[in-house]
Amino acid sequence: MVLAALKGVGFTYAYAEHPALVDVDLQLEEGLLHGIVGLNSSGKTTLCSLIRGVIPHFHQGDLTGEVTILGRPLLEWDAAELSRTIGCVFDNPFTQISGIRDSVFEEIAIGLENLGVPRTDMIDRVERVVEQLGIEAIVEKNPNELSGGQRQKVAFASIVAMDAPVVVIDEPTSQLDPEASEAVFEIIDGLKAQGKSIVLAEHKIDLLAQYADTVTVMHAGTVVMSGPTRDVVGSDEFGSYGVVAPEVTELGRRLAAAGRPLDRLPITRGEAFDEISARMRSTHAH
């Protein structure tokens, strides 16, 4: 099934002078990790808000075009039903913690409490998620005393516990160091392995190239590129919208410009390692 389909979609926030989305056409399939990239104010966050129903249920404005989520027009969804179907993780881990619970365990359980999950089931689900995400060491700590990376893991744990089939994630690593960013992407990869559909707005293109199935490039409120990750990230057009290609892709292009092209332009470190290793073996063989 199609996760989200947008046809000719435009959106202008109430009281805004300029539209945030302009004539957006996009189709995202279920069961994949879809990366969304673009400069600030390109429309990434607005697109994420639309897919998770925050627009138009909470953010007022002028919405035009057709938006379908899981085969049903967006306006036919009940806001509560959407919140059970689509989990959300925000860019700032410090705003995702409720601030009203004394332990990480209780914080993770909030969403389940709101859904009316029986207490024994709730405890089982939280314990499973704590083990799955490897956060046993902080489960008794006060959420308000955690680091940014730890808070982001707790935010993910809350969403994983609710077991929504779709997860929309908006720049989850924006305030995290490389190690914490890698840990967050491993969690996201684990969600995909469970069959979840994921929409991820992210600026760390090296990680996105490694994990995403598709990449959509936003520019000035519209979709300018969308397709399989290799096709988009490896395209010469990719960098023309202000988005920086992965370091290894730039390396591959520099080698080609120097007359020493690799057999395949790499978009991940693993691919670069394989290509360069093959080149060295070939050189030694001769």
CA atoms of 12 and 192, how far apart (whole Å): 32
Residue type, 41: S
226 plus 255 within the same structural domain? no
Question: Which structural domain, as residue segments, surrounds residue 254?
Answer: 246-286
Domain count, the chain: 2
**Domain shared by 221 and 149, yes or no:** yes
Phi-psi region of 43 (alpha: psi -120 to 50; beta: other; left: phi over 0): left
Distances in Å between the Cα of 59 and the Cα atoms of 14, 15, 54, 169, 193 are: 8, 11, 6, 18, 32
224 φ/ψ angles, rounded to the nearest 5 degrees: -105, -20
| Together in a domain, 280 and 170 | no
Closest CA to 213 of 240, 191, 236, 244: 191
- Tell me the H-state helices in 146-286: 148-162, 178-193, 205-211, 229-233, 247-257, 269-285
Residue 286 has pLDDT above 90, yes or no: no
Mean pLDDT, the chain, integer: 91
Q: Could you tell me how many helices (H) and strands (E) the chain has, helices first? A: 12, 10
Is 209 found in the same domain as 283? Answer: no
Based on the fold, state whether residues 272 and 180 are members of the same structural domain: no
What is the mean pLDDT of the segment spanning 189-193?
Answer: 92
Residue with tokens 């969690």: 187
Question: In this structure, are 145 and 205 located in the same domain?
Answer: yes
Q: What is the pLDDT of residues 158-176, one digit of tens each?
A: 888 988 899 999 988 887 8
Assess whether 281 and 203 both reside in one domain: no
Q: How far apart are CA 196 and CA 163, in angstroms?
A: 9
104-114 vs 148-162: helix axis angle to the nearest 10?
Answer: 30
- pTM, two decimal places: 0.90
Percent of the chain surpassing pLDDT 90: 64
CATH code (residue 185): 3.40.50.300
- Same domain for 164 and 271? no
Query: In this predicted model, what pLDDT tens digit does every residue of 173-187 receive, in sequence order?
Result: 887 888 888 888 998
**Which pLDDT value is given to residue 257?**
93
Cα Rg of the chain (Å, integer): 21
- Model pLDDT, residue 279: 82
**Same structural domain for residues 277 and 147?**
no
Q: Which of 214, 230, 245 corresponds to the end of one domain?
A: 245
Nearest in space to 126 (alpha carbons), one of 146, 144, 103, 109: 109
Same domain, 185 and 264: no
Claim to verify: residue 208 and residue 277 sit in the same structural domain? no
141 and 251 part of one domain: no
Q: Do 74 and 7 contact (CB within 8 A), yes or no? A: no
Question: What is the side-by-side strand order in the sheet with 86-89?
Answer: 86-89, 166-170, 197-201, 33-37, 214-219, 222-228
C-alpha torsion 134→138→140→146, nearest 10: -140
Asked if residues 109 and 122 have their Cβ atoms less than 8 Å apart, the reply is yes
* Residue 278 pLDDT: 84
The Cα–Cα gap between 143 and 151 comes to 7
